[in-house]
């Protein structure tokens, strides 16, 4: 059993220890010390990093036999004394997030009677999963309550209890470990069994900000940021907001309205462009039909005209197909290409079959009827596509 210095002193970063055992480990050497300040990955909180002697600590594993295994990129010998140093920035970040999680979970529990079923502390984001769905208004209540606890600067105390003693206490959740329990008490706000590293007063958490939420497994997943990460979040939002408001030349408050106006304008422009393309298609179709090639018993236009979107291509192909005996195979100039096939009622061409032949060769997908079919996602250059369309039309005619 390794003595866990972090159990009683979460701010201790330097320590002396003796190497008890070494063993092979993936990515380096596994080292077991008589004592350590390094926190191993457990309870939703990632491991510490830092140095053991001259080596970097890459991973810290909490093993079932009570040993803590430090995976290092160097070599140590059993019996050797070694100086350990924990990376404080990473440890402190984890302390803020983890302590904030206790306070936030306690707020959901106390104010809304919603239990937290799991916790994950990630590199960028931290989440708790709540047992039921909660509304935005409920989330705001819990967030407000949690920050009130932060600002009251409640003491965070560590104590140890036997399972019998713990059974009589109002723990927020059932302990998962057996034997002596390590309890974390936050004022009279929260009491839970936990092996993690915490701040000693809630004020050190700084701020608890909910950044997003989503429905998850019948409950709600809450994404949150505390302390330094809450400040990072604020800076990111500020920069994103500044970039958006600069682009649109509006203030932050005017941003939603400005986006709505742009969407409206864009819809109107699309509608206008569609009308214009349809009108233009009538003229363009007559011009293109004049250069149609006889293929089988059909006059076929195969082209990749510049500047037409899928609606325009469709209008153009249909306009060509309104000329008796005509058919059209039109591609977009984009990569991958869009495709529209249309034919007049009296023309001998199966539009859907031609489309399927081209999709089988160039990829993509599509569908339609014998007189009108459209697709997209076709690889190949315009020249390759047009040549293949002529071949396929000739073969099927």
Query: Per rule CB under 5 A, is residue 194 in the interface with Zn ion?
Result: yes
Distances from the Cα of 327 to the Cαs of 71, 306, 331, 341, in angstroms?
70, 19, 14, 8
Q: Which is nearer to Zn ion, 196 or 219 (CB)?
A: 196
Largest CA distance in the chain: 96
Query: Per rule CB under 5 A, is residue 289 in the interface with Zn ion?
Result: no
Which stretch, 134-142, 150-158, 193-201, 335-343, contacts Zn ion (CB under 5 A)? 193-201
Q: Considering the complex, what minimum distance in angstroms separates the CB of residue 248 from Zn ion? A: 44
Closest CA to 328 of 273, 282, 339: 339
Q: Considering the complex, what minimum distance in angstroms separates the CB of residue 260 from Zn ion? A: 44
Rg, C-alpha atoms of the chain: 34
Tokens of 121: 């502390």
Tokens of 75: 């070599």
Q: Considering the complex, what minimum distance in angstroms separates the CB of residue 119 from Zn ion? A: 8
Q: Which is nearer to Zn ion, 97 or 323 (CB)?
A: 97
Q: Considering the complex, what minimum distance in angstroms separates the CB of residue 164 from Zn ion? A: 22
Prior bond to 336 cis, omega within 30? yes
Q: Considering the complex, what minimum distance in angstroms separates the CB of residue 101 from Zn ion? A: 7
What is the number of the residue whose Cβ is closest to Zn ion? 194
CA distance 50 to 68: 15
Those residues whose C-beta lies under 8 Å from the C-beta of residue 109, and which sit 6 or more positions away, are: 115, 116, 172, 190
Q: Considering the complex, what minimum distance in angstroms separates the CB of residue 197 from Zn ion? A: 8
CA distance 307 to 158: 70
Q: Which is nearer to Zn ion, 31 or 194 (CB)?
A: 194
Query: Per rule CB under 5 A, is residue 196 in the interface with Zn ion?
Result: yes
Q: Which is nearer to Zn ion, 4 or 326 (CB)?
A: 4
Those residues whose C-beta lies under 8 Å from the C-beta of residue 304, and which sit 6 or more positions away, are: 330, 331, 332, 333, 337, 382, 385, 386
Q: Which is nearer to Zn ion, 13 or 116 (CB)?
A: 116
Q: Considering the complex, what minimum distance in angstroms separates the CB of residue 59 from Zn ion? A: 21
Which stretch, 26-34, 53-61, 125-133, 195-203, contacts Zn ion (CB under 5 A)? 195-203
Tokens of 17: 């220890």
CA distance 155 to 99: 11
Closest CA to 230 of 97, 46, 91, 47: 97
Report the 10 Å Cβ neighbour count for 209: 20
Query: Per rule CB under 5 A, is residue 298 in the interface with Zn ion?
Result: no
Q: Considering the complex, what minimum distance in angstroms separates the CB of residue 44 from Zn ion? A: 8
Q: Which is nearer to Zn ion, 194 or 199 (CB)?
A: 194
Q: Considering the complex, what minimum distance in angstroms separates the CB of residue 193 from Zn ion? A: 9
Q: Which is nearer to Zn ion, 175 or 376 (CB)?
A: 175
* Contact letters for Zn ion, residues 79-118 (x by CB under 5 A): ----------------------------------------
Which stretch, 191-199, 287-295, 319-327, 344-352, contacts Zn ion (CB under 5 A)? 191-199
Query: Per rule CB under 5 A, is residue 295 in the interface with Zn ion?
Result: no
Q: Considering the complex, what minimum distance in angstroms separates the CB of residue 196 from Zn ion? A: 4
Can you point out the beta strands (E) in 112-269?
Answer: 116-121, 126-130, 156-161, 181-186, 190-193, 208-216, 219-226
Q: Which is nearer to Zn ion, 98 or 314 (CB)?
A: 98
Which stretch, 190-198, 211-219, 235-243, 333-341, contacts Zn ion (CB under 5 A)? 190-198
Which stretch, 130-138, 188-196, 273-281, 331-339, contacts Zn ion (CB under 5 A)? 188-196
CA distance 139 to 391: 63
Q: Which is nearer to Zn ion, 196 or 325 (CB)?
A: 196
Decide if 352 contacts 373 (C-beta within 8 A).
Answer: yes
N-term to C-term CA, the chain? 83
Q: Which is nearer to Zn ion, 60 or 194 (CB)?
A: 194
For Zn ion, the binding residues (CB under 5 A) are 194, 196
């Amino acid at each position: 059993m390794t003595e866990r210095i972090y159990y009683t002193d979460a701010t201790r970063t330097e320590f002396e220890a003796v190497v008890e055992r070494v063993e092979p480990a993936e990515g380096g050497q596994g080292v077991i010390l008589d004592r350590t300040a390094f926190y191993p990955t457990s309870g939703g909180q990632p491991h510490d990093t830092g140095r053991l002697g001259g080596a970097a600590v890459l991973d810290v594993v909490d093993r079932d036999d009570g040993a803590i295994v430090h995976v290092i990129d160097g070599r140590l010998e059993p019996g050797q004394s070694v100086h350990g140093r924990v990376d404080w920035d990473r440890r402190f970040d984890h302390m803020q997030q983890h302590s904030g999680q206790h306070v936030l979970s306690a707020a959901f529990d106390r104010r809304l009677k919603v239990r937290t079923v799991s916790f994950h502390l990630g590199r960028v984001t931290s989440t708790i999963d709540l047992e039921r769905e909660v509304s935005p208004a409920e989330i705001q209540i819990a967030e407000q309550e949690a920050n009130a606890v932060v600002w009251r600067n409640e003491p965070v105390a560590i104590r140890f209890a036997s399972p019998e003693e713990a059974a009589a206490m109002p723990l927020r959740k059932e302990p998962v470990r057996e034997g002596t329990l390590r309890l974390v008490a936050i004022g009279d706000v929260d009491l839970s069994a936990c092996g993690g590293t915490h701040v000693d007063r809630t004020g050190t958490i700084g701020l608890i900000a909910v950044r997003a939420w989503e429905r998850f497994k019948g409950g709600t997943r809450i994404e949150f940021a505390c302390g330094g990460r809450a400040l990072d979040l604020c800076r990111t939002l500020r920069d994103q907001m500044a970039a958006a408001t600069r682009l649109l030349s509006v203030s932050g408050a005017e941003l939603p309205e400005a986006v709505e106006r742009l969407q409206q304008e864009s819809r109107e422009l699309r509608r206008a462009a569609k009308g214009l393309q349809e009108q233009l298609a009538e003229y363009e179709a007559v011009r293109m039909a004049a250069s149609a090639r006889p293929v089988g018993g059909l006059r076929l236009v195969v082209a990749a005209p510049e500047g037409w979107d899928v609606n325009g291509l469709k209008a153009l192909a249909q306009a060509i197909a309104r000329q008796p005996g005509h058919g059209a195979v039109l591609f977009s100039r984009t990569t991958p290409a869009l495709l529209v096939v249309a034919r007049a009622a009296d023309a001998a061409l199966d539009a859907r079959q031609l489309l399927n032949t081209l999709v089988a060769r160039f990829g993509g997908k599509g569908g339609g009827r014998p007189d009108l079919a459209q697709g997209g996602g076709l690889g190949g250059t315009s020249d390759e596509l047009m040549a293949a369309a002529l071949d396929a039309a000739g073969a099927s005619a």
